[in-house]
Structure 1
Amino acid sequence: MLTIWGRINSHNVKKVVWLAEELGVPYDRRDMGGAFGMDDAYRALNPNALIPTIEEDGFVLWESHSILRYLAATHGGERWFPSDPKARALAERWMDWHFDWAEAIRPIFFQLVRTPPEQRDTALIARSAAQAARLSALIDAQLGREAWLSGKDIGIGDIPVATYAHSWFQLPVERPSRPHLERWYAALRERAAFRDTVMIPLT
């Protein structure tokens, strides 16, 4: 049994739970972090005191993207973790690129979801929304060439970007039209694992 520690309203935890669902891996998710706090036992597993962390058959691993690669390699087969290093790298680059996307969206999320209205920094929201809009053009261009960021099928390259894309589409900011990005997001919404783990209320 796979154990996943982390609160489900964390973007990084959503990534891991979503992939476990896609792969059909049985898991036990345990709330940790945020309002749930962290006990000494958890800090012993993850000295960074961050989420998520997993444990499977005595193997403990933290860092969400390392966990995604591990799950894809051990449970996903060629479909999720190609043996061809070039095919794998083309998908994994989007996992690394996603940090720019997340960095642009995160201030909007914290300002509009977790900050009282009277304390919001409207200039920060506007700057971040403009940056996220610029970056969304890069995703749109790639999706104009391929059905998925990972290639012809959904893969681990899509998961980190898609987790933040859901927030981008839910946050009340002005977004330019990106037809390929919107087509991809519609396809994601057809996937039960995405709906159940990522498409939850932003909190």
Structure 2
Amino acid sequence: MLQILGKTSSINVRKVLWTCAELALPFEQEDWGSGFRATSVPEFLALNPNAMVPVIRDGDFVLWESNSIIRYLAGRYHGESLYPADPCERARCDQWIDWQASELNRAWSYAFLALVRRSPAHQDRSQIDLSCANWARHMAMIEGQLAKTGAFIAGSAFSLADIPIALSINRWLETPLQHGDLLAVEAYMARLATREAYWAYCRNGTP
């Protein structure tokens, strides 16, 4: 059976758990990371030298990096409805997955560590304000895209890209800052609320 190593409070682990739920894929999950088993031990480093979660073991196959994992799972376990075979549709899906990991994550990092994690190293007010402004700018891009599609982030149908994007929106909503009116985002989250996995792994109170 597929094994998922990583604590369920991790946004990146929840990407993998949500994907498994959409694929109706059974798995075993082990808690690793801060507050649980340390990822710095040799046993874990042999699986991922970055000492970060999630990691999966699928038989003899080991993989790390959450976005690589969800793509692998969709490809390996007949997830064509989530990750289209058509090159153009797949590229559009990949575009938003990669954007979330590179641009959006970078925008929120400082503000999230300051306002949610209460990191003593991230309490510079000017840096918090800058991060919040950058985060809001990226959320406006999501708002614009959702207003354009009228449905999901990559088009008219739910796709693999909606998993990291929705988790990012959840993080935005759960962080104590000024959110403003994002009507397309609000409607999008309401559409996602019809999916069981959304409540289990996205809107579960964990930012």
**Residue pairs, 1:1-203, within 5 angstroms:** 1-36=1-36, 37-38=38-39, 39-98=41-100, 99-115=102-118, 120-146=123-149, 147-202=151-206
Give the aligned residue type for 2:63: L
CA contact (8 A) 1:108 1:125 kept: yes
Structure 2 unaligned blocks of 5 or more = none
CA contact (8 A) 1:113 1:202 kept: no
What's the RMSD between the two structures over aligned residues?
1.9
CA contact (8 A) 1:53 1:60 kept: yes
**Structure with greater helix percent:** 1
CA contact (8 A) 1:105 1:164 kept: no
**Cα distance, 1:95 vs. partner?**
0.7
Residues of 1 paired with 2:54 and 2:124: CA distance? 29
**Cα distance, 1:30 vs. partner?**
0.4
**Cα distance, 1:25 vs. partner?**
0.5
Give the aligned residue type for 1:166: N
Aligned sequence identity (%): 37
**TM-score relative to the length of structure 1:** 0.92
Residues of 2 paired with 1:100 and 1:68: CA distance? 19
Give the aligned residue type for 2:26: P
**Count of residues paired in the alignment:** 203
Residues of 2 paired with 1:100 and 1:141: CA distance? 16
**TM-score relative to the length of structure 2:** 0.91
After superposing on structure 2, the runs of 4+ consecutive aligned residues of structure 1 that deviate more than 6 Å are none
Give the aligned residue type for 1:16: V
CA contact (8 A) 2:152 2:188 kept: yes
CA contact (8 A) 1:73 1:80 kept: no
